[in-house]
Structure 1
Amino acid sequence: MCGIFGVWFLDGRLPRAGDVERARDTMVSRGPDDAGIHIEPGVGLAHRRLSIIDLTPAGRMPMADEEETTFLVFNGEVYNFAELRSELETLGHRFRTRTDSEVVLRGYREWGVEVFNRLDGMFAIGIWDRRRQEMILARDAAGEKPLFYAWDRRRLIFGSTLDSILAWKEPWSVDEEAVGDYLGFGFVRAPRTAVSGVRKMLPGTYAVFSTRAEPRVGTHFAMLDPARAGEQALSLDEVEDRVRTAVHSRLVADVPLGAFLSGGVDSSLVCALIAKAREVRTYTIGFDDPRYDESRHARAVAEHLGLESVTRVISEAEVLAEVPEVLRAFDEPMADYSALPTLAVSRLARSEVTVAVTGDGADELFGGYRYYSAVRGFAAYARVPAPLRRAVAAAAGRVAMSDRVDRALQRTRCADVAEFFANSGFFRGAVAGGSLGVVRPDLVGRAPGIVASFHRGSSPPADPVAAGMAWDVANTLPEAWLCKVDRCSMAVSLETRAPLLSKDVIHLAQRLPMRDKVRIDQRKVVLRRLLKRYLPEELVDRPKQGFTPPMARWMRGELAPRLEKLRSSALAERGLVSAAGLGSLVTEHVDGRADHAQLLWSVLALDTWMTDRGLA
């Protein structure tokens, strides 16, 4: 894993090496092992390296071909690089290194941008083609690796992090419409970023920038591919073979490798398949509060699989001490406070290994979230006339219940299943209505309508769950979950690999009938069946607690002083939020009258991000 940076002045002026190095070195944690730079008239390329395969200096980047007409900066891993290398060798290419980076470089020379179609991996790529006077950028299929850019026909700046671009001295400013996106979704949806004039490459795309025309953008892989969607029944043996192949392809490394293990279906299945190939250590974080701790179950899974388990149970004080580091790790605000245990388990793993295999992606591809079952249930309940549903919700609402139950009752009033889904899920379900009266009116309230419109446009009438899963694949997965894992792992120089996001596994998930994914009473149906080949039923069919700390309670205790400071935050000073409305939310939460933890954390993350980067 690495960090890449580049600048291209179309007027041909020479970039200053010191400016390029300053931007590059904002990413030292992404690449602590080596650094490189290439400067020529108009172009500056830079790289920070975390050495994983071929640890010799031969793998240093920027990497050039023999003629020094094509230059590559690369972040990520290509898991099918050995097969591609063999194919290129038969075509006459002679390799100087054992790296997957050189396979990408020579693949581009042979196939041009078609090389991206051939790569199975996670990557952010920058290629300077001097012959064509073109700069090419590409991002992996699922969006595991970030890639930001700023383009205005005079210059192109790109980097693995938003901070690397902000280090390039220009008058950057906050994109207020993107702030509204963030406060509605919990993340900024690509291609926007929180900074005006800076964009994210969409997952599965590439862009060719030239002096002759506007960028030419293409798709090399579509996570949402209607042509592949279908109801193709597959045997459990075929599912197992596809997933096992993906897992084993992600075990190649010249450095120590381990695996995250929470004890849930996804990480347990990945670890079970790893155990058939090699010995590894698993890494688990637990909480000292048993209501939130799953480490004992994770240890039981590891023991059954014959894997050595490394577990650390952390106290409330230890988790809260990580709050400043977590907020610093995100170069763009993201509202998920489960980043706290994610950083903790990344730090634990990095104390012994350089690569950790994860179970990311299964919830979106195979239907793991509770609200998918709720959508299935509401689709049936929606047949009840709306006035009667509203009456039932109103009657139930007169009984004192938790905020979570109250929000669920409110959703039963929804006009249709698209509106129901739009008010469910990550962040939206927790803050529905809470931001009204707090966030500036022109910035808030768009999110549910955007999601509902997507749902109605994507959903076959018979399958509303598929439309909800499509939203999460295109948005929540790359912008929330993969972003979280990338930033937390890279903060401690740990590479993470997600075999369930292999192209082959994605194709498999697209082809499966919905009955093998989500039912009202069960989710990830086919993965659970497969896991029972490796674990006894009692270790598979158990409630999942989730990897989430008790933030609501902490915000009434240790974190309460930080919330009080929000009353005079930079957001209020800019008029993005109402100081009075925000103060009321803080008071209601701290006094225990309501649970606003999700919304308050999102405001805290945004305020910290703006202040730390001088954008307040």
Structure 2
Amino acid sequence: MCGLAGWLSYERDLSTQTSIAEEMNTTLECRGPDSHGVWTSPRALLAHRRLAVIDLEGGRQPMAAPAPDAPVITYTGETYNYRELRDELRSLGHEFRTESDTEVVLHAYLEWGAGFAERLTGIYAMAVWDPRTEELLLVRDRMGVKPLYYWPTPDGVLFGSEPKAILAHPDTEAVVDAEGLREIFGIVKTPGHAVFRGMYEVKPGTLLRFSRSGQEETRYWRLTARPHTDDLDTTIGRVRSLLEDIVAEQLVADVTVGTLLSGGLDSSAVTALAARATAEGADDGGSPRVLAFSVDFKGHGERFRSNVQWTDPDTPFAIEVARHVGAEHVVVELDNADVLDQDVRDRVLRAQDLPVSTGDMEYSLLVLCRALKERMTVALSGEAADELFGGYTWFHDPQAVEAETFPWHHPFEKAGGIGALRTIGLWGRLGLTEYVKRRYAEALEEVPRLAGDDRREERMRELTYLNLTRWENFLLDRKDRISMATALEVRVPFTDHRLVEYVYNAPWAMKSFDGREKSLLRAAMRGVLPDSVLDRKKNPYPSTQDAAYEEAVRERVRAAVAEDDAPVLKLASREEIGRLLDAPEGTYSMGGPWSARAVLERLVEFNNWVRLHDVRVDL
């Protein structure tokens, strides 16, 4: 999946600055442990760290076209239709030296210029330097699966797959002001916002062009509203066929590919379709069984208590799915020590660059990805199905639907997260009510409308758009950062733009035709998955319910605020935080990204983040 970094300057001679590009590149070593390289010229430096997945020997980067003064690319991700594009480009006279998708993307640029991005199907982020025009292009995939950040300078730009690469440059500083803190604690995830002052994120579906005349932004893809003309049966069949094609396409690699299996509908659908495609390809030398990994907590089944988020434990359903589809199944069992381990937490913080803890989920995910990496290099995952098909509780809770805010703020309020931020004064101190309201209004302005929609249909279209462009970006970023911290590539079939475009425009009456969440997806998977899984209520990613874990988190908060120079005391006083800690045990035991316990986790991580990563908080 790889990592990239670079520097463009129209006034400095960068051919003498290679060591800086190498330092930026080194910060991304986990993303690409297999090889690395830096391409040097007076105007531009391009760096790359490689995780070899396709054409293990021939796909080294940065890659230059075979001609004097030709364009150069540093590229991360996967272009799933690269074989079809290569055939088309060959018919147009292009010759290829490798079997890599990177070379295909480079030749696509040579053939179609800046319009090449519209021809790609996949998950990618890249930089293309064209010495002929002295222009740099930064391009990000349609749904923003692969990260890409940039820092404009007076005479050019710095860029990288992660903020840490840019912050390794001597001309930058890790500064976070009130605006950045609002992004961290407001659970907003504004497209383009990178939290650090002076830094930005390339928006999904966007191409940025940097030239001597300045910066130009082009959206080459966005969600659009159009009439849905298929009937229900046709729609169900179309969803099924799209998913079959997409999953089969995403299994293509020169390394072992497996799946992440929770036992929920989304991951089970991906695993089942991957198992079928893998078995069908066994005659071509592939493995006849797909490898599926799950995570669980020791004693979780015995101590499990249902609540508003979790109705039943995942593992029994994951086991049933694996048996049903014939997958080789591995359960990674964790205990408190695994998710409280300071090395794990430091690595998660380093991976994410920000203190965005949602409880224990990030830490268990890192341990799970480590285990996967021992058996595979690529894993398919079920992210984006809930956003696309309407799986979350807030799609079906009338109060959340009608709330004039981001719909995930409703469970955040109910679970005590917003109340916890108010208890310590941070919600009011940062002006989060006003900030969230402003960002929400901006998001609504973007929503594509369809003439003739009634108010119900219009509102559900709004909620789907908000989820796909805000909440999903948060989840995709989390999965990418943590998986790549273990050199594991995660592919996400439900983000394929062909599926997204089709299902986004299916009317809400179809998405909930049987009165349940994700009606279309469940119907499309009927006969492929066990009925017990198809009829199961949606559960979030697993989180521990062990009271001992909560107490350990409290102890860490107490230890942090006991120090007079604790960075967290810039956010709230010792007395304010003490009010949270004085709450009875169990108040925060529900866990999950919206709970008050997650706020305690975030306070601890903020404290560590400022100290370990030399962050200056400017309030």
TM-score, scaled to structure 1: 0.88
Aligned partner of 1:611 in structure 2 is 611
1:214-261 alpha-carbon deviations (Å, 9 max, x no partner): 311111211x322x3646433322221111111110011001111111
Please report how far the alpha carbon of residue 435 of structure 1 lies from its aligned counterpart in structure 2 after TM superposition. 1.7
Match of 2:394 in 1: 371
Secondary structure at 1:122's aligned position in 2? strand
Contact persistence 2:464–2:504 (CA under 8 A):
no
Alignment of 1:250-329 (within 5 A): 250-278=250-278, 279-288=289-298, 289-290=300-301, 291=304, 293-321=313-341, 322-329=344-351
CA distance in 1, matches of 2:172, 2:545: 36
Alignment pair present for 1:217 and 2:217: yes
CA distance in 1, matches of 2:78, 2:444: 36
**1:378 Cα deviation from its structure 2 partner:** 6.4
Name the structure 2 match of 1:434.
Answer: 420
Q: Distance in 2 between matches of 1:41 and 1:229?
A: 51
Equivalent-residue separation in structure 1 for 2:358 and 2:493 (angstroms) = 23
Q: How does 1:15-414 map to 2 (within 5 A)?
A: 15-56=16-57, 58-67=58-67, 68-186=69-187, 188-212=189-213, 214-222=214-222, 224-226=223-225, 228=226, 230=228, 232-233=230-231, 234-278=234-278, 279-288=289-298, 289-290=300-301, 291=304, 293-321=313-341, 322-337=344-359, 338-375=361-398
Letter in 1 for 2:437: G
* Alpha carbons 2:25, 2:49 under 8 Å: kept: yes
Return the offset for 1:445. 2.4
For structure 1, which segment, 267-276 or 562-571, has the greater mean C-alpha deviation from structure 2 after superposition? 562-571
CA contact (8 A) 2:191 2:469 kept: no
Q: Which residue of 1 aligns with 2:592?
A: none
Hey, what's the Cα distance between the residues in 1 that align with 2:406 and 2:487? 40
SS at match of 1:446: helix
SS at match of 1:59: coil
Match of 1:409 in 2: none
Q: Distance in 1 between matches of 2:610 and 2:33?
A: 26
Q: Out of 438, 447, 464, which is 1:450 matched to?
A: 438
Q: Deviations over 1:376-421 (max 9, x none)?
A: x666xxxxxxxxxxxxxxxxxxxxxxxxxxxxxxxxxxxx542583
Deviation at 1:451, TM superposition (A): 5.6
Counterpart Cα distance in 2 of 1:546 and 1:466: 22
Equivalent-residue separation in structure 2 for 1:583 and 1:590 (angstroms): 14
Tell me if the contact between 2:166 and 2:172 (Cα under 8 Å) persists in the aligned partners: no
SS in 1 for 2:333: strand
Deviations 1:331-390 (A, max 9, x none): 233232321222222112111000001111111111110111003x666xxxxxxxxxxx
> Which ranges of structure 2 fall in alignment gaps of 5 or more residues?
279-288, 305-311, 590-594
Contact 2:190 2:470 in 1 (8 A): yes
1:384 maps to which residue?
A: none
Provide Cα deviations, 1:191-215, integer angstroms capped at 9, x if missing partner: 1212110100001101000012x31
Indicate conservation of the 8 Å contact 1:178/1:193, yes or no.
Answer: no
- The structure 1 segments of at least 4 consecutive aligned residues displaced by more than 4 Å after TM superposition are 229-232, 425-430, 454-460, 589-595
Q: Answer whether contact 1:142 1:203 (CA < 8 A) is retained.
A: yes
Answer whether contact 1:229 1:510 (CA < 8 A) is retained.
Answer: no
Q: Which amino acid aligns with 1:268?
A: S
Give the 3 Å change call, closer, same or farther, for CA 60–501 of structure 1 in structure 2: same
Q: How many angstroms does 1:188 deviate by?
A: 4.4
Is the deviation greater in 286-295 or in 439-448? 439-448
Aligned 8 A contact 1:244 1:273 in 2:
yes
- Counterpart-to-counterpart distance in 2, 1:593 and 1:31: 38
- Describe the superposition over 1:511-541 as per-residue Cα deviations: whole angstroms up to 9, x where unpaired: 3121222469411101111222212312321
Is the CA contact (8 Å cut-off) linking 2:209 and 2:216 kept in structure 1?
yes
Q: Which region of structure 1 is more displaced relative to structure 2, 304-313 or 585-594?
A: 585-594
Report the equivalent of 2:466.
471
Which residue identity is paired with 1:542?
R
1:569-588 matches, within 5 Å, as 570-573=566-569, 575-588=570-583
Q: What is the one-letter code of the residue matched to 2:139? A: A
Provide the residue aligned with 2:532 in structure 1. 538
Structure 1 stretches lacking a partner, 5+ long: 380-415
Post-superposition shift, 1:443? 4.2
Deviation string 1:562-613 (CA, Å, 9 cap, x unpaired) is: 111342464445x333343223223326584896212222222333222221
Contact 1:571 1:577 in 2 (8 A): no
CA 593–330 in structure 1, closer or farther in 2 if over 3 Å, else same: closer
Please give the alpha-carbon distance, in whole angstroms, between the structure 1 residues aligned to 2:444 and 2:2: 39
Deviation at 1:166, TM superposition (A): 0.7
Alpha-carbon offset, residue 12 of structure 1 = 3.6
Q: Give yes or no for contact 2:7–2:46 (8 Å, CA) kept in 1.
A: yes
Q: CA 1:467/1:368 → structure 2, altered by over 3 Å: closer, same or farther?
A: same
SS for the counterpart of 2:49 is: strand
The verdict on how the C-alpha distance between 1:311 and 1:26 changes in structure 2, with shifts beyond 3 A counting, is: same
Q: CA RMSD in A?
A: 2.4
The answer as to whether partners of 1:178 and 1:188 remain within 8 angstroms in 2 is: no
Deviates more, 1:270-279 or 1:108-117: 270-279
Distance, in Å, in 1 between the alignment partners of 2:413 and 2:170 is 34
Is the 1:7–1:44 contact (alpha carbons within 8 Å) kept by the matching residues of 2? yes
Contact 2:70 2:131 in 1 (8 A): yes
Alignment length, in residue pairs?
573
User: Could you tell me how far 1:450 is from its partner in structure 2?
Assistant: 3.4
CA distance in 2: counterparts of 1:433 and 1:355, whole angstroms: 40
Contact 1:181–1:188, Cα closer than 8 Å, also in 2: no
SS in 1 for 2:144: coil
Contact 1:186 1:336 survives alignment (8 Å): no
Contact kept in structure 2, 1:285 and 1:312, CA below 8 Å:
yes
